């Protein structure tokens, strides 16, 4: 079947047999999680989440978001190979593989869902382990693990990853609505940031001096947290550019199509409740609106660069233990800027654009680590 022409708010397409297969595989993943040390479990989950953030960009850049137009299965099946007939029919009805459905796009989309499910299973393991340890603190049920981590953080992670799963579903069933896809990106970044904080906390509790908080002036903490805030706004703007396909609305750099004062349409550009490529009244989004979306991201890049540089310099002055980490922040920021410029200059090559998402998450992680280690007296 081809993708439905109408958005669907709720859908669960897997048959009972295919759902059982999926759950059985996730149970294996959960068993693996039960055997790990806490710090290793959190670190692996954070690393896979970072990879999934980058792979999510790859899904969008290859137009694979509707490669399987139902959820969570692919035409109700666990594997695209089980849905060959349906995919072939959709390809025929859309007039070729240039449309939203193809065998390659189906696999890309489903791989994204498999990895997301794996992350959810690992976080569920964290919560189960924390709850068991709360009621049976005298018994260490898991090899080499701490039993006193508390349930609050695993519960928060479980809530966030569950919401992330819902937005992943709505990304498909609401036909790539830009505000849904952008929120899905922010949710992935938030989950990653929380995992980094939780990982730092476990390293700190284990006595790792590289995770130990240090006393810094209050203004340093303010700058670091403000940098995280403006970076989140910039990630939103970047997601808004990507989900509205506005990356090449300005085809040169540093100007926008040869001018520093491009024609703009701010109200149309930042109307959030609408379909992909359209205004709320059903008319198509103008070139001026797409240009505005892109230009806003460039303006945001200037602001976020200034704030992060100030935060990094404040860290360097605050304490010698944070000086090296401040350098890491500057390196991540520099790479992110260069990759962003390359995305425009080289007409959005997929690997470069995917790296832009990856290093946005890396930059966020460096700031979260700085925020954890910065404590006021």
Q: Enumerate the active-site residues.
A: 109
Residue recorded with tokens 């992350």 = 119
3-state secondary structure 327-364: HHHHHHHHHHHHHHHHHHHCCCCHHHHHHHHHHHHHHH
Contacts of 246 by beta carbon, 8 Å cutoff, 6+ apart = 240, 290, 291, 293, 294
Segment holding 375, helix H or strand E:
strand 374-375
What three-state secondary structure class fits 41? Answer: helix
In 3-state terms, what secondary structure has residue 215? Answer: strand
Stated as kind and residue range, the H or E segment containing 366 is helix 350-373
* Whether 243 contacts 330, CB under 8 Å: no
Tally Cβ neighbours within 10 Å of residue 83.
23
Q: Coil, strand, or helix at residue 74?
A: strand
CA dihedral of 159, 163, 165, 166, whole degrees rounded to 10:
140
């Amino acid at each position: 079947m081809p993708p439905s022409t109408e958005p669907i708010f709720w859908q669960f397409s897997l048959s009972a047999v295919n759902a059982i297969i999926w759950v059985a595989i996730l149970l294996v993943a959960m068993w693996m999680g039960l055997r790990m040390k806490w710090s290793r479990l959190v670190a692996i989950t954070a690393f896979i989440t970072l990879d999934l953030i980058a792979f999510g960009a790859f899904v969008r850049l290859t137009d694979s978001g509707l490669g399987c137009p139902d959820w969570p299965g692919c035409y109700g099946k666990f594997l695209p190979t089980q849905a060959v007939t349906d995919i072939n029919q959709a390809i025929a009805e859309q007039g070729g593989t240039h449309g939203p459905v193809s065998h390659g796009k189906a696999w890309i989309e489903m791989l994204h869902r498999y990895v997301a499910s794996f992350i959810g299973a690992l976080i569920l393991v964290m919560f189960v382990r924390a709850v068991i340890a709360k009621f049976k603190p005298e018994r260490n049920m898991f090899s080499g693990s701490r039993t006193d981590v508390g349930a609050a953080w695993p519960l928060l992670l479980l809530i966030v990853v569950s919401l992330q799963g819902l937005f992943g579903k709505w990304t498909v069933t609401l036909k790539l609505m830009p505000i849904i896809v952008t929120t899905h990106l922010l949710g992935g970044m938030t989950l990653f940031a929380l995992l980094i904080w939780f990982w730092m906390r476990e390293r700190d509790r284990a006595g790792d001096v590289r995770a130990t908080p240090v006393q810094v002036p209050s203004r340093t903490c303010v700058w670091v947290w403000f940098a995280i805030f403006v970076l989140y706004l910039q990630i939103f703007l970047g997601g808004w550019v990507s989900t509205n396909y506005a990356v090449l609305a300005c085809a040169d750099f540093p100007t926008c199509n040869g001018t520093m004062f491009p024609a703009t349409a701010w109200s149309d550009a930042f109307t959030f409740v609408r379909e992909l490529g359209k205004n709320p009244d059903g008319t198509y989004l103008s070139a001026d609106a797409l240009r505005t979306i892109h230009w806003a991201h460039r303006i945001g890049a200037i602001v976020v660069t200034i704030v992060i540089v100030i935060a990094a310099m404040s860290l360097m002055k605050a304490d010698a233990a944070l000086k090296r980490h401040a350098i890491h922040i500057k390196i991540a920021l520099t790479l992110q800027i260069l990759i962003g410029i390359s995305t425009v200059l080289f007409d959005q090559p997929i690997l470069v654009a995917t790296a832009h998402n990856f290093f946005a998450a890396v930059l966020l992680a460096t700031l979260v680590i700085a925020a954890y280690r910065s404590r006021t007296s």
